[in-house]
Amino acid sequence: MSSVSGKRIVLGVSGGISAYKAIEVCRRLVDAGAHVVPIMTDSAQKFVGANTFSALASEPVHASLFDDWQGPIPHTRLGQEADLIVVCPATARVIGSYAAGISDDLLTNTLIATRAPVVVCPAMHTEMWEHPAVEANMATLAARGVHIVAPEEGRLAGGDIGKGRLAAPSTVVASVQEVLDPHTVDMRGLSVMVTAGGTRESLDPVRFIGNRSTGKQGYAFAEVAARAGADVELITTVDRPDPSGVRVTRVVTAAQMHEACLASADSVDIVVMAAAVADFRPTGASEVKIKKGDGVPTIELERTVDILADLGSRKRRGQQLVGFAAETNDLIANGERKLAKKNADFIVANDVSAPNTGFAHDTNAVTILAPGGVRASLALASKFEIARAVLRTVVAARTPSE
């Protein structure tokens, strides 16, 4: 049975040329057994007729805050009763109002009056999609756990070509199904080791060489894997609250992380190396504070062990290694090189120079690489969603005997 069957889904349609595709989304959701409640904005009704949605959905269109056919205060009822709200298409205005908490019509009121999961499907011209205000609003929504169905590249209104075209109705419906399915990753019976944070390599008792990693993505992996039923060990350099149900080992340096990884690596099914491990450390840290009076010091560096490559060289049958590639250029080529060199099964490549991705952000956008090429490209989403999608890909690639 489909995960949408019997669910009450509010379909919010805002004003864009792609509103006609929402008709197909509506039909598919109804066919899959959902009770579809349509809300249209005024401008949506300039693109498609309310009668079309009223005829295809499970009840007539709701369009007004003040004279709804079902009585007063429609937004609280619609928001409270929904199992999920999908906004398709979502215009820059609706996205902006929702991100700012401004309730200026029935749709935005309903969005703010709900605790149900929300799926937003943006559609707009490329210039608008790439505007910093829209990018910031999308990042806000993603960080709050709103699910985003990224727009595609293609023909836009007026004949322009570019990014911003509403995702295909089948993609929108698949996203809705995924959000409503609580068992999208089942990791029961699997053991997972996750590393998180950036290592610190001492120069002297008060100084170290470090990096900008905050551990957010690694912690999201540990939390999602534990929630999915896996036995999880987290090896971390950062002092965030322990995710529930996860064994936590704290380390500081690359050498300590290596040692902790070796202690568990043989017994685990999946390794996720999300940590930013130092590639170099000072040769022989000073035991006393380096004093400036002694002149400008020359710091000699030596290589650390590449933990992922070491685990790759001793990987046992059936074990899956997931590495990361933090890149600022040539994302795919560099990721593929790391995949082969480190004998990993997956490389999660992210462009750390892109807006709202990588270090310290609550959101990320990644490309999952596996031998044979790109496995998936995940648009900007919360780090939890990224973790869930990566783990789903990893678990799906396991053969039944593993």
Q: Which residues make up the interface to ligand CTP (CB under 6 A)?
A: 254, 273, 275, 277, 279, 304, 306-308, 323-326, 338
Nearest Cα to Cα of residue 82 among 8, 13, 173, 26: 8
User: Is 211 a residue of the active site?
Assistant: yes
Question: Least Å distance between CB 137 and ligand CTP?
Answer: 30
Catalytic residue among 51, 109, 137, 211: 211
Question: Least Å distance between CB 207 and ligand CTP?
Answer: 20
Strands 35-40 and 8-13: parallel
Q: Which residue number, 278 or 380, has a Cβ lying nearer to ligand CTP?
A: 278
Both structure tokens of 231: 């036995």
Nearest Cα to Cα of residue 122 among 141, 149, 140, 101: 149
Question: Least Å distance between CB 320 and ligand CTP?
Answer: 13
Q: Which residue number, 166 or 273, has a Cβ lying nearer to ligand CTP?
A: 273
Q: Which residue number, 171 or 343, has a Cβ lying nearer to ligand CTP?
A: 343
Question: Least Å distance between CB 240 and ligand CTP?
Answer: 18
Q: Which residue number, 129 or 324, has a Cβ lying nearer to ligand CTP?
A: 324
Q: Which residue number, 81 or 330, has a Cβ lying nearer to ligand CTP?
A: 330
Question: Least Å distance between CB 247 and ligand CTP?
Answer: 19
Nearest Cα to Cα of residue 226 among 391, 23, 20, 5: 391
Question: Least Å distance between CB 290 and ligand CTP?
Answer: 24
Which residues, in sequence order, are CB contacts of 153 under 8 Å at separation 6+? 161, 162, 163, 165
Please classify residue 83 by burial: count the beta carbons closer than 10 Å to its beta carbon, then call 0-12 exposed, 13-18 middle and 19+ buried: middle
Write the single-letter amino acid at 163: K
Q: Which helix (H) or strand (E) holds 37?
A: strand 35-40
Cα(326)–Cα(366) distance, integer angstroms? 10
Q: Which residue number, 5 or 313, has a Cβ lying nearer to ligand CTP?
A: 313
Both structure tokens of 377: 């490209």
Cα(229)–Cα(104) distance, integer angstroms? 42
Count Cβ neighbours within 10 Å for each residue of 330-363 and write b for 16 or more, e otherwise.
Answer: ebbebbbebbeebbbbbbbbbbbebbbbbbebbb
Nearest Cα to Cα of residue 146 among 179, 168, 103: 179
Catalytic sites, residue numbers = 211
